[in-house]
Chains A and B, each alone.
Chain A
Amino acid sequence: MEHRSAGAGPGGSAAEPFVRIEGITKRFGATVAVNRIDLDIQRSELFCLLGGSGSGKSTLLRMLAGFEQPSEGRILIDGQDMTGVPAYERPVNMMFQSYALFPHMSVSDNVAYGLRRGGVARAEIRKRVADMLDMVKMGDYAQRKPHQLSGGQRQRVALARALVRQPKLLLLDEPLGALDKKLREETQFELMKIQSQLGTTFIVVTHDQDEAMTLASRMGVMQDGRLVQVGGPRDLYEFPVNRFVARFIGAVNLFEAVLIEDEPGHARLRCAETGGVFYVSHGVSGTPGQTMHLALRPEKINLTRDKPDGEENVAPGVIDEIAYLGNLSVYQVRLDTGRLIHVTLPNLDRHEGEAFEIGNRVFCSWGPASAVVLPA
Chain B
Amino acid sequence: MSVQQRLNASPAPARRRKSWRLGRHSVIALPYGWLLLFFILPFAFVLKISLAEADMAIPPYTALVEWLDETTLTIQLTFSKYQLLLEDRLYLSAYLNSLKIAAISTVFCLLIGFPIALFIVSRPPHARFFWLAMVMLPFWTSMLLRVYAWIGILQSNGLLNTFLMDVGIINQPLVLLHTDLAVYLGIVYSYLPFMVLPLYAALEKLDPALLEASADLGARPSVSFFTVTLPLAVPGIVAGCLLVFVPAVGEFVIPALLGAPDTLMIGRVLWDEFFANRDWPMASAVAIVMLIVLVAPVMLVRARETATRDEA
> Which residues in A have some Cβ–Cβ distance to B below 8 Å?
65-67, 86-89, 92-94, 96, 98, 100-104, 113-114, 117-118, 145, 147-148, 161-162, 165
Contacts and interface: CB of A to CB of B under 8 A. Distances in A.
Tier of interface size on chain B: 10 to 19
Nearest to A62: B212
30 contacts: A65-B212, A66-B215, A66-B216, A67-B212, A87-B212, A87-B215, A87-B216, A88-B218, A88-B219, A93-B216, A94-B213, A96-B209, A96-B212, A96-B213, A98-B209, A100-B209, A101-B213, A102-B214, A102-B228, A113-B214, A113-B217, A113-B227, A114-B217, A114-B218, A117-B217, A117-B218, A147-B312, A148-B312, A165-B217, A165-B218
A93 B217 CA distance: 7
B220 interface: yes
A148 B207 CA distance: 18
B207 A118 contact: no
Contacts of B215: 66-67, 86-88
A148 B312 CA distance: 8
A96 B208 CA distance: 12
Interface of B is mostly: helix
B312 A117 contact: no
B216 A88 contact: yes
A65 B216 contact: yes
B294 interface: no
Contacts of B213: 94, 96, 100-102, 161
B36 interface: no
Contacts of B227: 113
Contacts of B37: none
Contacts of B216: 65-67, 87-88, 92-94, 162
Given A67-B216, A103-B210, 20 more contacts: A66-B216, A67-B215, A87-B216, A88-B216, A89-B218, A92-B216, A93-B217, A100-B212, A101-B213, A102-B213, A113-B214, A113-B219, A114-B217, A117-B218, A117-B219, A118-B218, A148-B312, A162-B216, A165-B217, A165-B218
Contacts of A162: 216
Nearest to A96: B209
Given A104-B231, A118-B218, A145 B312 contact: yes
A96 B213 CA distance: 8
A100 B216 CA distance: 11
B41 interface: no
A129 B210 CA distance: 20
A178 to B, nearest CB: 13
Nearest to A173: B209
Contacts of A92: 216
A145 B216 CA distance: 21
Nearest to A103: B232
A148 B232 CA distance: 17
Nearest to A119: B218
A98 B232 CA distance: 17
Contacts of A96: 209, 212-213
A29 B89 CA distance: 67
